[in-house]
Chains A and B, each alone.
Chain A
Amino acid sequence: MLEAIGAGLAALLTPQAILFMFIGVIYGLVIGILPGLGGVVAMALLLPFTYGFEKAATLALLLGAHIATIWGDSVTSILFSVPGSAKGLALCFDGYPMTKQGQAKRALAASATGALMGGIIGAVFLALCIPLIRPVILALGPSEYLMMALWGLTVIATFSEGSLMKGLIASLLGVLVAFIGTDVVTATPRFTFGSEFLMDGISFPVAMIGLFAVSEMMKLAIKGTPIVDRSLVKEVSTVWQGVMDAVRHWWLVVRSSLLGLWIGVLPGVGASVAGLAAYAQAVQTSKTPERFGKGAVEGVIAPDATMGANEGGGLMPTLAFGIPGGESMAILLVAFIGLGVVPGPDMLTKNLDLVFSMVWIIVIANIVVTVIGLAICPALARLPTLHANLMVPIVLSVCFVGAYATRSRIEDVVVAAVFGVLGYVMDKYRYSRANFVSGMVLAVMIERNLHISLTLYGKDFLLQRPIALAMLAFVLFTAALPFFRTWRRDRKRALAT
């Protein structure tokens, strides 16, 4: 184990890995600070660049960018009350009032320090979990992994935003889209309509670029107006005040981080829920809850600490079971597939050093983001305006060139455009894009493990694997539970009236 910890760090000390992490962090900060572009867009746009480099360096690029966007998202919520993504919503409640009171520097610094402390707690948790979860993972066979993937599919839909039924439909649609191409087991071309291009299947990175980045640009193009336009207020706070605020409220940071870890571990419950949950617990546990909503610094620290820790928690099910904790983890899984890294037992045996590289990346990237963040806080506090008309053509162009660059096939540009429209429609009618992506990723795991189970144990593999059978019962129970709850609630309501 200690050897893997050392090897994980050593892999990050190569010039390529160090350079990639810095590029990732700076890129992530820029993307995060641009309203409307969140961590998912940042990661989707990076996917074409993840081939042909060292594994640790590629992960440093992706995770570094992702971690930087977490704080970048917070910046737009605090300065403009425009969350870069749903997870930044909770920061608008107190961050923006602080900005209006001339305390933008303090809010930004408290947010960066809170995220750093949360991020480190998350990384430590991930490192501590590995030896504990290793025996469990190694005891599971393909049948259990099949059940795990099915559970991931249903539980992600259950906990996703919006309608449960639509969540399940989106997951199923994602699974079916992943089956486009030649079936690796039977060599049957599926849903290819005779197209040679579709024989290779839909490229996951291209689909991600379309679903998230192109569709987000369509939304911005519709806006067309300045995304943010504010009058500047005279600053009366300092960066140091914000840092000390986070340190002074260390117990709030620890509580919020633990909440973030727990939410991160639950598959499908993303950081958007984590931020709001952290805010709610900060209010509930405060001795002066009346200050919240009017510029309480605790309302900034708690969501950021939670979102920082959320990453460590989210990586656990992603690495151990191949079940993504949220949209960004699903994209990370896509990158793993591209790198030839298979989550599951291999991750905790053959690739253990890579897992520890990720733990180190979380720690180092969080420190780098905080140092850069604190340095640029004063400049950010003076940021007056940003316009959609500047971002749309630039990001859309990068999306299309990036889609082409993935496999040097022009048809991928068409796929990105089609998935862009699909992503827009799904977002508008509340068919969760996160579920769709999770479905795409889990499809591979479901089909592979089913075929292996059938080959190893025959058609009645469930009867031969009692743990898998028990897991199936659990899957059915968790899938039915929300429907039962809705039915019971309706019945109670009907009886009351």
Chain B
Amino acid sequence: MSRRTQDNLVAAVLLAVFAGVIWLCQDFGPRARMIPLPLAIFGLILTAIQIVWQNLRSTDELRMHMIAVPAPDSTGARPVPVPESKPAVGRGPSWREEAGAMGVVLVLLALVLLLGPIPAVFLFTGGYFVITRHYSLRAGVIYTAVFTAATYLLFFVALEIQPYHGILAPLFAQ
């Protein structure tokens, strides 16, 4: 999928969000919709313009540059040397890599919902170390246990946060 198509997809989703807000605002009283409604209409118009704009011309043309480092010219102004070292700029991530990253977040989320934060942290961190082979199994388990204990002590002992035992807690209780 080309970058422009992706940009259009994102803009289309935003358009739908603004349209949805306008529709939902109809149920509110005049005072409750006084700010959200005009802002959503403004957002809808801007997004529509953005879609037209990004399909008719380069997105770069809409960018504002606060600082333009002056290029060497013939007016006698001093040129700014091009830095030797620039931070490495790699290729864009593939959809598989992005899905993988999203999967990492979803796995942790699922573990937290099912088991509660502390068991989830232990399983997720340990699993991540083992799967990525960053540490050996033994070292991974030790570091994970230390980190989980630190997290538990900080949040649930020092800060006295009410623990959550997860959706599966009733099963374990039986």
Hey, which bits of chain A sit against chain B, CB under 8 A?
A: 49, 81-83, 89, 92-94, 96-97, 100, 158-159, 162-166, 168-169, 172-173, 175-176, 179, 183, 185-186, 188, 190-191, 214, 217-219, 221-222, 224, 269, 273, 276-277, 280, 283-284, 289-290, 292-294, 387, 389-390, 392-394, 396-398, 400-402, 404-405, 408, 410, 413-414, 417, 420-421, 424-425, 429-431, 443, 446-447, 450-451, 482, 486, 490
Set of chain B residues within 8 Å of A164, measured between Cβ atoms: 62-64
Are A401 and B155 touching (Cβ within 8 A)? yes
Contacts A188-B32, A273-B66, A404-B161; A293 near B82 (Cβ below 8 A): yes
B83 within 8 A of A: yes
Complex CA distance for A276 and B80, rounded to whole angstroms: 12
Contacts A413-B112, A429-B7, A482-B64; A163 near B129 (Cβ below 8 A): no
Complex CA distance for A405 and B156, rounded to whole angstroms: 9
B173 within 8 A of A: no
Not counting A190-B28, A404-B161, a sample of 14 additional A-B residue pairs whose C-beta atoms are within 8 angstroms of each other reads A82-B88, A93-B85, A186-B31, A222-B93, A273-B66, A276-B69, A289-B79, A389-B132, A393-B129, A400-B108, A408-B162, A417-B106, A447-B35, A486-B62
Are B84 and A97 touching (Cβ within 8 A)? yes
Are B32 and A186 touching (Cβ within 8 A)? yes
Which of chain B's residues has its CB closest to A49's CB?
B159
Are B161 and A222 touching (Cβ within 8 A)? no
Interface positions, chain B 45-66, Cβ under 8 Å from A, are: 46-47, 49-50, 53, 59, 61-64, 66
Count of B residues near A, CB < 8 Å? 74
What are 16 A-B residue pairs whose CB atoms fall within 8 Å in the complex?
A: A92-B87, A93-B86, A169-B46, A172-B39, A172-B40, A172-B43, A176-B43, A186-B31, A293-B81, A293-B82, A389-B132, A397-B108, A400-B108, A404-B164, A410-B164, A417-B109
Set of chain B residues within 8 Å of A224, measured between Cβ atoms: 97, 132
A276, A283, A394, A396: the one contacting B81 at CB < 8 Å is A283
Are A173 and B43 touching (Cβ within 8 A)? yes
A97, A163, A188: the one contacting B63 at CB < 8 Å is A163
> Which label, helix, strand, loop or mixed, suits the secondary structure of the B interface?
helix
Which of chain A's residues has its CB closest to B131's CB?
A389
Contacts A168-B46, A169-B14, A169-B47; A417 near B151 (Cβ below 8 A): no
Set of chain A residues within 8 Å of B132, measured between Cβ atoms: 224, 389
Are B67 and A393 touching (Cβ within 8 A)? no
Set of chain B residues within 8 Å of A169, measured between Cβ atoms: 14, 43, 46-47, 50
Are A92 and B34 touching (Cβ within 8 A)? no
Q: Mark B142-174, 1 if CB is under 8 A from A, else 0.
A: 000001000100010001011010000000000
The A-B contact count (CB < 8 A) is 220
Set of chain A residues within 8 Å of B102, measured between Cβ atoms: 218, 421, 424
Are A96 and B109 touching (Cβ within 8 A)? no
Are B83 and A293 touching (Cβ within 8 A)? yes
B17, B59, B88, B109: the one contacting A173 at CB < 8 Å is B17
Closest 8 CB pairs of A and B: A93-B83, A393-B128, A188-B32, A293-B83, A172-B43, A218-B101, A389-B134, A389-B132
Hey, which bits of chain B sit against chain A, CB under 8 A?
A: 6-7, 10, 14, 17-18, 21, 24, 28-29, 31-32, 34-36, 39-40, 42-43, 46-47, 49-50, 53, 59, 61-64, 66-67, 69-70, 78-88, 93, 97-98, 100-102, 104-106, 108-109, 112-113, 117-118, 120-121, 124-125, 128-129, 132, 134, 147, 151, 155, 159, 161-162, 164
Complex CA distance for A191 and B14, rounded to whole angstroms: 16
Are A190 and B36 touching (Cβ within 8 A)? yes
Contacts A81-B87, A164-B64, A165-B62; A176 near B21 (Cβ below 8 A): yes
Are A269 and B83 touching (Cβ within 8 A)? no
Are B24 and A392 touching (Cβ within 8 A)? no
Complex CA distance for A273 and B69, rounded to whole angstroms: 11
Are B113 and A413 touching (Cβ within 8 A)? yes
Contacts A293-B83, A482-B64; A429 near B10 (Cβ below 8 A): yes
Set of chain B residues within 8 Å of A404, measured between Cβ atoms: 112, 117, 161, 164
Set of chain B residues within 8 Å of A183, measured between Cβ atoms: 28, 31-32
Set of chain A residues within 8 Å of B59, measured between Cβ atoms: 163, 430
Set of chain B residues within 8 Å of A408, measured between Cβ atoms: 161-162, 164
Complex CA distance for A190 and B59, rounded to whole angstroms: 34
Are B112 and A82 touching (Cβ within 8 A)? no
Contacts A82-B87, A92-B85, A163-B63; A397 near B151 (Cβ below 8 A): yes
Set of chain B residues within 8 Å of A389, measured between Cβ atoms: 128-129, 132, 134
CB B107 to nearest CB in A, in angstroms, measures 10
